[in-house]
Chain A
Amino acid sequence: MSRFTFPDSIASRPVYGTLEPKQGKAHLMIADAEGAEALLDLGMHNPDIFKNSHVIFIPKDTGQTYIGSLADLDPEQFYVGPSYDASVPRIRRVLSGAHMGLQVYLAGTEGLIGQAQNEAMQAGIPHTAIQSEHRGSVARRMQCVHCKGITEDVTTDPFVCSHCGLNLFVRDHYSRRLAAFQGVRVDAEDPGNIPVPVELYS
Chain B
Amino acid sequence: MTIQFNKESFRGDYTFHNSDWAIQRFPFPFHEDSYMYSVNMEQHRGGPEGSVYEKRFDVDEHYVSEMHDRALVLAEDPLRCQSLPHMTLAGWDLLELIMVAKSEDYPELFELHRNGDTWRWVNKPMEIDDTFTFLDETTLPYGPMEYITRQAQGDWCVLDQRDDMLWMDAGMVTTQADWSLDFDIGMNFFEWHAPVPLAHEMGIFKRALKFLLNIQQGAPARRLNWTMTVNPLLDTSPENYHKWGVQKTTLTPKNIGAKQHLRVELQTFFRLPRSNALVFPIRCYLIAFQDLVTIPKWGRRLHRVIRDLPDELATYKGFIANRPMMLDYLSRYDDGLATSPGVWPDLEIEPELQK
Contact = CB atoms under 8 A, between A and B. Distances in A.
A185 B191 CA distance: 22
A184 B179 CA distance: 11
B215 interface: no
B183 interface: yes
B246 interface: yes
A145 B195 contact: no
A11 B180 CA distance: 16
Interface string B173-200: 0000000101111110011111100001
B239 to A, nearest CB: 6
A171 interface: yes
B239 A145 contact: yes
A178 B186 CA distance: 10
A171 B200 CA distance: 18
B187 A175 contact: yes
Contacts of B240: 146
Contacts of B246: 188-191
A67 B190 CA distance: 40
A189 B321 contact: yes
Given A146-B239, A173-B183, A175-B183, A10 B248 contact: no
Interface string A176-191: 1110001011001111
Interface residues of A, number: 24
Contact of B195 (A166, A171, A189, A190): A171
A148 interface: yes
Contacts of B148: none
A12 B242 CA distance: 23
A143 interface: yes
A8 to B, nearest CB: 11
A175 B186 contact: yes
Contacts of A191: 246
Contacts of B193: 11
B249 interface: yes
A2 B163 CA distance: 35
Nearest to A167: B242
B167 to A, nearest CB: 11
A176 B192 CA distance: 11
| 9 closest residue pairs by CB, A with B | A188-B245, A12-B194, A10-B194, A12-B191, A185-B242, A11-B194, A177-B186, A11-B190, A145-B238
Interface of A: 10-13, 143, 145-146, 148, 166, 171-178, 182, 184-185, 188-191
29 contacts: A10-B194, A11-B190, A11-B193, A12-B187, A12-B194, A145-B180, A146-B239, A146-B240, A146-B242, A148-B79, A148-B182, A172-B194, A173-B194, A174-B191, A175-B184, A175-B186, A176-B187, A177-B185, A177-B186, A178-B183, A182-B180, A182-B238, A184-B238, A184-B241, A185-B241, A185-B245, A188-B245, A188-B246, A189-B249
Interface of B: 79, 180, 182-187, 190-195, 200, 238-242, 245-246, 248-249, 321
Given A174-B191, A175-B187, A176-B186, 11 more contacts: A13-B194, A145-B180, A146-B239, A146-B242, A173-B195, A175-B184, A178-B183, A182-B183, A185-B245, A189-B246, A189-B321
